[in-house]
């Protein structure tokens, strides 16, 4: 007679209280298989959805909540020590390791998702498709706006399901690089005003002070004669002390633009009509005129 082996099962992730060390349990809702470790924690050993997880330890003195980004800050009890990651410094962002699946109390172990699907977290603050970046203002938090310098851009993942309890995020941590971290760049003791120049002998870019003087707003180093374009432009300007100006000739506008007066037509009158009329005083006026002397 065939024997039937059934694992402990349920529709949610099993807790440590329902398992004994080494016992297996299956979540019939998503097909994931879990077991209880010697330290008392429950870990997912077979996942229906592909993901890479790691058991880490919290010794920060405070509980690390679920759905928080953490970075490796050391090692203890054969586990990686983690602390809340934040994008406002190199030390708290460059080693971002994963996102917690559940809360981890201090001096205890817990699980983080490093790559793959993070499930059953509160993603209600986001919508499906939102891209999450490590927050520069909230330790362990996220932002949908990529941080800009001097903050550090660390991509966390993409929200695939928005829900208060069963939210899902596809984790794919990508840490941005400092300029000095590029394999063909070597920066040593940088100072203000330096530039990045290429060294053909070593085949790398190095920081150096560019020779040949410098220019700042309001002052120009060197002689004026060497500033050919500026010297030419200044030579065309009149001196302030005793400026001289060359008058320009005025040219009349073209005839086509002149407005001519209307033409007058003169008619020649007959000779009789051209003679001025003779004026004769009226009888009253004639009596008033003086008589000529005899």
Residue found by looking up tokens 């209307």 in the block: 262
Query: Across 35-49, 88-102, 203-217, 240-254, which has the greatest mean pLDDT?
Result: 88-102
Strand-pairing partners, residue 113, are: 53, 99
Least confident of 38-47, 190-199, 272-281: 272-281
Residue-level pLDDT at 166 = 92
H-helix or E-strand spanning residue 206:
strand 204-208
Residue-level pLDDT at 7 = 82
pLDDT of residue 59 exceeding 90: yes
Taking the domains of the chain in order of start, what are their residue ranges?
Answer: 1-48, 52-176, 179-209
Residue-level pLDDT at 43 = 84
Q: What is the mean pLDDT of the chain?
A: 83
pLDDT of residue 61 exceeding 90: yes
Q: In what order do the strands lie in the sheet with 204-208?
A: 185-186, 204-208, 195-199
Count helices and strands (H / E) in the chain.
3, 18
Share of the chain above pLDDT 90, in %: 44
Least confident of 52-66, 141-155, 167-181, 207-221: 207-221
Buried b (16+ CB within 10 A) or exposed e, 113-133: bbebbbbbbebeebeeebbbb
- Grade residue 266 by pLDDT with cuts at 50, 70 and 90: low
**DSSP letters for 69-134:** EEEEEEEETTEEEEEE--TTSSTTTTTEEEEESS-B-TTEEEEEEEEEEEEEE--TTS-TTPEEEE
Residue-level pLDDT at 278 = 60
Residue-level pLDDT at 183 = 86
pLDDT of residue 54 exceeding 80: yes
Helix, strand, coil in percent for the chain, rounding step 5: 10, 35, 55
Q: How far is CA 153 from CA 88, 140, 177, 262, in A?
A: 9, 14, 8, 82
pLDDT of residue 41 exceeding 70: yes
In the CATH scheme, what architecture does the domain 52-176 have? Beta Barrel (2.40)
Buried b (16+ CB within 10 A) or exposed e, 65-86: ebbbbbbbbeeeeebbbbbbbb
pLDDT of residue 55 exceeding 90: yes
Least confident of 82-86, 139-143, 234-238: 234-238
In 3D space, the residue among 93, 100, 160 whose CA is nearest the CA of residue 132 turns out to be: 160
**Backbone phi, psi, residue 271, to 5°:** -60, -40
Phi/psi zone of residue 116: left (φ > 0), alpha (ψ -120 to 50 degrees), beta?
left
Q: Which residue has the higher pLDDT, 170 or 274?
A: 170
Query: Across 49-58, 126-135, 239-248, which has the greatest mean pLDDT?
Result: 126-135
Residue-level pLDDT at 288 = 58
Q: Please compute the mean of the pLDDT values over residues 138-150 and round it to a whole number.
A: 95
Query: Across 14-18, 83-87, 148-152, which has the greatest mean pLDDT?
Result: 83-87
pLDDT (tens digit per residue) in 175-204: 888 888 888 999 889 899 888 889 899 899
pLDDT (tens digit per residue) in 207-235: 988 776 555 555 666 666 666 677 777 77
Residue-level pLDDT at 260 = 58
Residue-level pLDDT at 214 = 54
């Amino acid at each position: 007679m065939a024997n039937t082996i059934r694992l402990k099962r349920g529709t949610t992730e099993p807790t440590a209280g329902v398992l004994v060390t080494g016992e297996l349990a299956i979540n019939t809702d998503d097909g994931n298989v879990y077991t209880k470790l010697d330290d008392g924690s429950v870990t997912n050993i077979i996942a229906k959805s592909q993901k890479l997880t790691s058991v880490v330890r919290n010794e920060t003195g405070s509980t690390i909540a679920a759905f928080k980004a953490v970075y490796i800050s050391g090692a203890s009890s054969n586990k990686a020590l983690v602390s809340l990651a934040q994008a406002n410094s190199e030390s708290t962002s460059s080693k971002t390791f994963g996102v917690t699946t559940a809360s981890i109390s201090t001096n205890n172990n817990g699980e983080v998702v490093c790559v793959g699907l993070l499930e059953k977290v509160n993603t209600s603050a986001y919508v499906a498709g939102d891209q999450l970046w490590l927050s520069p203002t909230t330790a362990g938090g996220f932002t949908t706006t990529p941080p800009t310098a001097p903050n550090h851009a660390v991509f966390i993942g993409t929200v695939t399901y928005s829900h208060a309890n069963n939210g899902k995020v596809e984790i794919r941590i990508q840490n941005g690089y400092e300029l000095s971290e590029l394999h063909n760049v070597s920066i040593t003791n940088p100072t203000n005003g330096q530039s990045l120049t290429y060294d053909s002998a070593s085949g790398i870019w190095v920081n150096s002070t560019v020779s040949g003087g410098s220019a700042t707003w309001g002052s120009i180093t060197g002689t004026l004669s060497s500033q050919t374009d500026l010297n030419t432009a200044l030579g065309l300007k009149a001196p302030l002390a005793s400026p001289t100006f060359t008058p320009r000739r005025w040219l009349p506008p073209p005839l086509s633009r002149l407005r001519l007066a209307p033409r007058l037509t003169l008619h020649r009158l007959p000779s009789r009509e051209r003679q001025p009329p003779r004026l004769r005083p009226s009888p009253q006026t004639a009596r008033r005129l003086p008589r000529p002397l005899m």
